[in-house]
Structure 1
Amino acid sequence: MVSRRQLLEAGVTRETLRWRVGRDWRLLLPGVYALQTGLPSVWQRLVAAQLVGGEGAWLAGSTAASLHGITSAPISMPIRVLVPAPRRSRRISWVDVRSTTLLGERVVERGPLRLGCLARAVVDAAHETPDERAARGVVIEAVQRRLVRLDDLEHWVDARGRRGSARLRRILAEVAEGAWSVPESDLLALVRTSRRLPPPMANPILTGPGGETLTSPDLWFDDVGLAVMVQSRRFHADRLDWEATVEQGSDLSTMRVVVVGVTPTALARDPEAQLRRIERAHEAAARTGVRAPVTASVRATVPLGVTG
């Protein structure tokens, strides 16, 4: 991938350029050429997108988030590019070039590519995503994998101003409360709608009477010792997390903890039915007057990580 300006500066004449294009070279974007005639790879498209942005351009938003390793933000079209103001925003084929006055981020160079910092990329990717569950997935993944700090995400939400900030702040609030996956976030939002349930703790640290660490439930109602668990292998960080969930009866039930299991499918198909199950379990536990001898403490929800 090479720009017209680079070719001319390298000594290629305009006549040679006109002759080559369509024979040996391909015009990929205005002023950007592939020195081949075949279809460009994704990597070549990324380089071309940065070149069409011009000097000082960098990849941003969902494009940068994906290149930083966020799997819930796959590379898709349009490729997101930021350029410093006062240069103008414009859409060029499959490239979305946006002008920005926010120039304080640390740009990471990866070969010929320049990537915006991960914290800003995550915030912008969540803003770009029309589906709120998908947006939550981007933020939750970045925080759960300890790639960013919540403080840094909040900084970039503040820096963006009011545009789209309400949804972003709502997502950050859910993550700060301890939601570690999109189904957990759905569950937390669902429980909040209940007029019969007290506020739960999300992913608390549970210890038994002897100080032993117990399985951490997704939601915990401390007044009655009720645990709610999302049962899905896909949304657990690793095999050990999943095994801990599967084996929850061996420690939580031994401590007389009431456990309500829900699945992402059931939450999506009939959330009201799942809420009623949790409400009934909470009421039944309250009627017994017996609470498990378990201590719950709030887990740190702002993990430190490497960020820009």
Structure 2
Amino acid sequence: MTHNTPLSPRPLSHLTETAPPRVLTANSLREHGVSTAAADERCRPGGPWQMLLPGVYLLHPGPPTSEERLRAALLHAGGERSRIPAQQGTANRTDHAGGALPGAPGTPQRHCPPPELPEAMITGLAALTLHGFTGAPSLRAVDRIDVLVPRTKRVRSTGFAHIVRGHSLPDPEEVTGLPVAPVARALADTVAQLTDAGVVRRLLVESVRGGHCEAGAVVGELLRARLLGRPHVREAVDALVAENRALAEGLLYEMVFRHRLPDPCWNVDLRLPGGPVLGGVDAYWPDQAVAVELDTRSPRPHIDQDEQWSQYARKREVLEGLGITVVHLTPAKLRESLGQQAAIVRTALMTAVEREPAEYVTVTPR
């Protein structure tokens, strides 16, 4: 055979006899010897393939799976390239440029640069479903798949793929092998399309109740998306703040009882005898003069964060000036390391005998 002898077409079995998902773009098919005309021919009525979106092919008949729809939406947005299975064994694996793939037997290993961040990621309701939100519909019930892309990317919404443009994209999280927007961003992109106040409230509350993310991160994304001017969103944020506080208090109770700390006085105000209130704390051990305060500052932007922190700092300075040890805890610390936070409080209680006696203060319920 001479160098001018044309190559015979590659069989299509290596494309169709593999595990799903079998979703490829026209460009990927051309790289493996399948022209666009040949692909379109196989998509005729009764054919073995079908076109899910313009230039995106499903290599089997019948309805696509949820994963195949997700991958098709990403491929349409140019955010993911599916790897073509090799025709031969791994010993002869090659990349699209003809070189041996890393990890193939008998090939030298070389350092590969970290992969670039994808130019598209799943967001909206489909992303919340992938993150495990019980209030989000199943993937089969999601008619439209939102895909977040850079603002300048040239791609349009079509079929079930809905393009959401952003000035800046967050780092995606990998869920079931797919790039997915972080919870807070996916929530904001979802809320932007919802008018049902009850649904918005349930999703926002679940984000904190389910431990998916911090309340401040959610509100920050809602502010960035300019959604806080909508009355039903503001009401949902109020519910989010209340839920965040209630969950933090519940974790504090759990910390005390699970780790067998002495019973404190719960939710009390401290004051000097005959004097003004020094401030409220969430838990107080009078015999050891140890107070615990939860940092549940409102994440709502219309309340000044710096001023709130200044109030925390001033109160702590006054209490510690009276010999009271103040342990400052956040909801995130309690969720991530309950035992470690209990150890901090236990240490403060045990070392009380080593400190100078605190000033006498009266304790009253808040």
Task: Sort the TM-score into its range (normalised by shorter chain).
Answer: 0.5 to 0.7
How many residues end up aligned between the 2 structures?
Answer: 203
The normalised TM-score by structure 1 is 0.56
Alpha-carbon spacing, 1:163–1:29, altered in 2? closer, same or farther (3 Å): farther
Question: Which structure has the larger Rg?
Answer: 2
Q: What is the Cα deviation at residue 170 of structure 1?
A: 3.0
Secondary structure in 1 matching 2:220: helix
Secondary structure in 1 matching 2:243: coil
Asked if 1 retains the 8 angstrom alpha-carbon contact of 2:50 and 2:58, the reply is yes
Q: How does 1:1-308 map to 2 (within 5 A)?
A: 1-22=23-44, 23-55=47-79, 56-74=119-137, 75=139, 76-87=142-153, 90-103=156-169, 105-162=170-227, 166-178=231-243, 302-303=331-332
Tell me which moved more, 109-118 or 55-64: 109-118
Distance 2:193 2:174 in 1: 23
Q: What is the Cα deviation at residue 120 of structure 1?
A: 1.1
* Alignment correspondent of 1:246: none
Deviations 1:231-265 (A, max 9, x none): xxxxxxxxxxxxxxxxxxxxxxxxxxxxxxxxxxx
Q: Which runs of 5+ in 2 are unaligned?
A: 1-22, 80-118, 257-261, 267-328, 337-366
Alpha-carbon spacing, 1:174–1:204, altered in 2? closer, same or farther (3 Å): farther
Alpha-carbon spacing, 1:102–1:168, altered in 2? closer, same or farther (3 Å): farther
Distance 1:203 1:122 in 2: 25
Secondary structure in 2 matching 1:128: coil
Deviations 1:17-70 (A, max 9, x none): 233223221111111110001111112111111111123111001111110101
Asked if 2 retains the 8 angstrom alpha-carbon contact of 1:64 and 1:115, the reply is yes
Alpha-carbon spacing, 1:301–1:92, altered in 2? closer, same or farther (3 Å): farther
The normalised TM-score by structure 2 is 0.48
Secondary structure in 2 matching 1:28: strand
Q: What is the Cα deviation at residue 166 of structure 1?
A: 4.8
Distance 1:40 1:4 in 2: 18
Deviations 1:114-137 (A, max 9, x none): 101112112322332321111111
Q: Which runs of 5+ in 1 are unaligned?
A: 182-201, 217-299
Distance 2:240 2:330 in 1: 8
Distance 1:166 1:102 in 2: 26
Asked if 2 retains the 8 angstrom alpha-carbon contact of 1:24 and 1:36, the reply is yes
Secondary structure in 1 matching 2:157: strand
Alpha-carbon spacing, 1:163–1:115, altered in 2? closer, same or farther (3 Å): same
Q: Which structure would you say has the larger RCO, counting Cα contacts within 8 Å and 6 or more residues apart?
A: 1
Q: What is the Cα deviation at residue 157 of structure 1?
A: 1.5
Secondary structure in 2 matching 1:114: strand
